[in-house]
Amino acid sequence: MEVTVHIPDDIACHMTEAGGDLARRALESFALEEFKRARITKPELRRLLGFGTRWKLDGFLKAHDIYEHYTLEDFLQERAALKSLGF
């Protein structure tokens, strides 16, 4: 699916002064918002943005101050799983 957004030329001019590809910035902003609202998954976000590895996606998310929700319960479950494997 392709989506077209109309931005008046004078506003687009101001927006491109900051540098970078305006279409890419729009895609990234839209994709990040959908990810934050849990409408797309991390693998879907990676695919949408064209990142070849999950490490590139993780770097992108950190650059935008988005961190995974990780609770003490998550940690304890992982620790128990590792102990059961002999680690």
Give the pLDDT of the chain (87 residues) as one tens digit per residue: 888 999 999 998 889 887 878 999 999 999 999 999 999 999 999 999 999 999 999 999 999 999 888 889 989 999 999 999 998
62 domain residue, yes or no: yes
23 domain residue, yes or no: yes
3 domain residue, yes or no: no
pLDDT recorded at residue 51: 97
- Domain that residue 63 falls in: 9-84
2 domain residue, yes or no: no
Confirm whether pTM is higher than 0.85: no
Six token digits for residue 33:
């918002």
How many structural domains does the chain have?
A: 1
1 domain residue, yes or no: no
80 domain residue, yes or no: yes
Q: How many residues does the chain have?
A: 87
CA distance 12 to 47: 27
Chain CA centroid to CA 50, Å: 11
pLDDT recorded at residue 70: 82
Q: Which residue has the tokens 């895609």?
A: 27
CA distance 39 to 44: 10
4 domain residue, yes or no: no
52 domain residue, yes or no: yes
